[in-house]
Amino acid sequence: MRVLVTGGAGFIGGHIVEQLCARGDDVVVLDSLAAHEGPPDHLPDSVEFIVGDLRDESVLRRAVEGVDAVCHQAARVGLGVDFDDVTDYVADNDGGTANLLRALWRRSFAGRLVVASSMVVYGEGRYRCPEHGVIHVAQRGEEARARGEFEPRCPRCTVEVSWAPVDEETPFDPRNVYAATKVHTEHLSFLYGRESGVGVCALRYHNVYGPRMPRDTPYAGVASIFRSALESGKAPRVFEDGAQTRDFVHVRDVARANLLALDGSFRGACNIASGEPHTVGEMARALAAGFEDAPEPVVTGEYRYGDVRHIVASPELADYVLGFRAETGFAEGMAAFAHDPLR
C-alpha cells in the first residue's frame, strides 16, 4: 500500500511512518519542516520525503499522486500563546485540511482517509450529578478558581460533580482555538467523505506522550514541560491542585491505532486512549521518580483560561471497531519517558 502521511516528520507522524515502513508499506511524507531544522534522521531511508506546505497546490498534487491511503497528521497543536494565534491555527489546521481534501477530490481519490483529531473537541467532557445525572458544565469561573475551588458544580443544584468517561456521542464543546479547528477538521473531512464516497476515520487522541515529543514551546504537552523542568533540576509546576484527570496514551500505541484505522473500514470518530486515567499530579510524580534526586513537584494553584478540569475517554468503541487497545501501561510508559529523547 502506498500511504501519504502529512506531518510525517512530526512527533506522532514520525512514529506512524516508522510502523508503516516496518511492515513494508510504500510511504510518502509531506511536511513543511516548520518545526524542524531539517529532515529528521529517524525516518527510514525508503521514505519519499516532500518538503512543502499544505497551502501549495502544486506540492499537494505531487503528494497525493498514486497514493492508496492518506494519514493526515499535519496541524498546529497545543493551546498556543493567546488569541493572537487564531489566524495561524485556522490557516494551518482548517485551511490546510481544506486544501488537502480539495487535492484528493480533484484526483478522484478512492482510498482510505484517516484524520488526526483530539480530545479537546469535547471541552469539559462529561459529568455526573448525584441528583440530576449526566450534566453539561459551563466554563469554570475565574472567581471560583482564584479561591482555589477547581471542581465543576452542577448548574442546577451547585453541588460538586464527578467526571464520567466521554464516549464518541458526547457533544462537541470546544473551549479554545485549537479545539475549534479540530472540530472543523472533522466536519470538513466527513463532508468530503460523504461527497466522494471515501471512507473517513477521525482519531480523537487523548494526552499523547513518548519519544521525540516536542519540548520547551508554547505548544508542548504537559508531560514534555514537566520532563524538561526535571532535566534542568527544577521541580515541575503543577497547576490548580494537581487533581485534574487525564488519559495519557503512549505515542507508539497512537501510531498503531492509525495503522488499524488505515487497514479498517470503520467510518466515524474514535477515542484513542489508554483507558487508564491518572491525575496531572500523579503524572508529575511518576516522571520525577525516574530522575535521581529529583525535586518533588510543586502544586502552585495557578490556572490557565481555557483549561478543562477532567477529560477521560471511553476506549470501548476503538476496541470494537478497530481492534485497538493500548499496550503501554502508565507506570511503564512514564518510567521510559523520563529518559526518552525529546525533540
Return the pLDDT at 216: 63
Q: Looking at the predicted structure, is the pLDDT value of residue 218 above 60?
A: no
Identity of the amino acid at 91: A
Task: State pLDDT tens for residues 15-30.
Answer: 999 999 999 999 999 9
Nine-digit cell at 150?
477547581
Task: State pLDDT tens for residues 284-300.
Answer: 999 999 998 899 999 99
Class of domain 2-126+165-338: alpha beta
Cβ atoms of 119 and 313 closer than 8 Å: yes
CA distance linking residue 168 with residue 174, whole number of Å: 14
Predicted model pTM? 0.94
CA distance linking residue 14 with residue 38, whole number of Å: 14
Calculated CA dihedral for residues 80, 81, 86, 87, nearest 10 degrees: -90
CA distance linking residue 243 with residue 160, whole number of Å: 14
CA distance linking residue 256 with residue 249, whole number of Å: 12
Domain boundaries, the chain: 2-126+165-338
Collapsed DSSP state (helix, strand, coil) of residue 259:
helix
Range scoring the smallest mean pLDDT among 7-16, 218-227, 307-316, 317-326: 218-227
Report the chain's C-alpha Rg in angstroms.
20
Task: State pLDDT tens for residues 253-287.
Answer: 999 999 999 999 999 999 999 999 999 999 999 99
Task: State pLDDT tens for residues 151-175.
Answer: 999 999 999 999 999 999 999 999 8
First to last CA, the chain: 29
Q: For residue 11, what pLDDT band results from cuts at 50, 70 and 90?
A: very high
Given the C-alpha cell 513543511, which residue does it identify? 32
Collapsed DSSP state (helix, strand, coil) of residue 208:
strand
**Section 29-57 average pLDDT:** 88
**Section 318-330 average pLDDT:** 97
Nine-digit cell at 121?
473537541
Collapsed DSSP state (helix, strand, coil) of residue 129:
strand
Classify residue 105 by burial, with Cβ atoms within 10 Å: 0-12, 13-18, 19+.
middle
Return the pLDDT at 56: 92
Cβ atoms of 306 and 79 closer than 8 Å: yes
